[in-house]
Amino acid sequence: MWKYVLKRIGLAIFTIFIIIAITFFAMNAIPGGPFQSEKAPDPAVQRMLQERYNLDKPLVEQFVIYLDNLLHGDFGISLKTGRDISTIIGESFAISAEIGGIAIVVALIPGLIFGSLAALMRNKWPDRVIMFSSTIFVAVPSFVLATLLLLIFCLKLEWIPVWSVNNRNYILPILSLALYPMSYITRLTKSSMLDALGQDYVRTARAKGVSESRVIFKHALRNALIPVVTYMGPMTAYIITGSLVVETVFTIGGLGTKFVSCINDRDYPLIMATTIFLAILLVLLTLVSDLIYKLIDPKIKFE
């Protein structure tokens, strides 16, 4: 099994390398290169760029230098402001991580509970209500939801004030991010619970005289959770990309807003660095969820 773990980690590292390479070379396909000194507003910045990025060296060598810098935590400097990118990312990421992290928990736990509830009360009213709402919410993209919530709760009803650094109100952005994954997890949990409850080992447990609640929580649920873990990777991807939009809509100063605005500004070094940062984050989180899945699924464990 450990062989598998190492293989998987190796694959992740390889993927990260490919992403950095693609990003770097793609960016350099832009006429004039991403570090267009002409674009920089300030001659001092221009000089810094020239030095920092060794723009006179051949491209492959530049790439190696870039990689080396990355490994040392040096992401370069922003074209627009000249500030150190790693600082920029560091500041804004803290906020995004908080929102994203809480959103994951908000999606996961209610999702599991509702899904199990729907499975246990099959065809009764809780099931119908839960399934109805989750079907609807799965059709609402995060940006639509975010804008609607902003409209209703901030602007029209004025129940929740608009976000500002001093007044950090996270509930709406978290809801906008979490509602889709929560609904997805609900549906997934319901079907995998029903599946588990129909298995022979549940029949065996009942035949032994195990109480119904134990059958559900000890025997069925443990098996039903397994498919849900496979969703963790895609869910993280959804939350990361969703945060781009949600933060923009609610004007939150997180990494998402930074990313969107630097795209509009064509601040290439920042675009490059943020893309790589987010990609690495995604690959690592997917790796973790993949490993967890392989560890708890007994079929794979013993291959």
Give the interface with other proteins as residue ranges (CB under 8 A): 11-12, 14-15, 18-19, 22-23, 26-27, 29-31, 135-136, 138-141, 143-144, 147-148, 150-151, 155-156, 198-201, 203-212, 219, 222-223, 237, 240-241, 244-245, 248-249, 260, 263-264, 266, 268, 271, 275, 278-279, 282-283, 286, 296, 298-299, 301-302
The number of helix segments (H) and strand segments (E) in the chain equals: 14, 0
Closest distance to other proteins from the beta carbon of 279 (Å): 5
DSSP states along 99-120: HHHHHHHHHHHHHHHHHHHHHH
Query: Which CB atom, from 95 or from 278, has the smaller least distance to other proteins?
Result: 278
Structure tokens that stand for 151 in this block:
């409209």
Closest distance to other proteins from the beta carbon of 8 (Å): 10
Q: How many CB atoms lie within 10 A of CB 44?
A: 10
**Computed from CA positions of residues 261, 264, 269, 271, in that sequence, does the dihedral angle turn out positive or negative?**
positive
Query: Which CB atom, from 164 or from 204, has the smaller least distance to other proteins?
Result: 204
Query: Which CB atom, from 231 or from 268, has the smaller least distance to other proteins?
Result: 268
Query: Which CB atom, from 43 or from 188, has the smaller least distance to other proteins?
Result: 188
Closest distance to other proteins from the beta carbon of 264 (Å): 6
Residue 84 forms beta bridges with which residues?
A: 77
Closest distance to other proteins from the beta carbon of 147 (Å): 6
Query: Which CB atom, from 29 or from 165, has the smaller least distance to other proteins?
Result: 29
Contact 96, 282 (CB under 8 A): no
Interatomic CA distance for residues 221 and 195, integer angstroms? 10
Query: Which CB atom, from 99 or from 215, has the smaller least distance to other proteins?
Result: 215
Closest distance to other proteins from the beta carbon of 74 (Å): 20
How far is CA 98 from each of CA 49, 101, 148, 260, rounded to the nearest angstrom? 33, 5, 22, 19
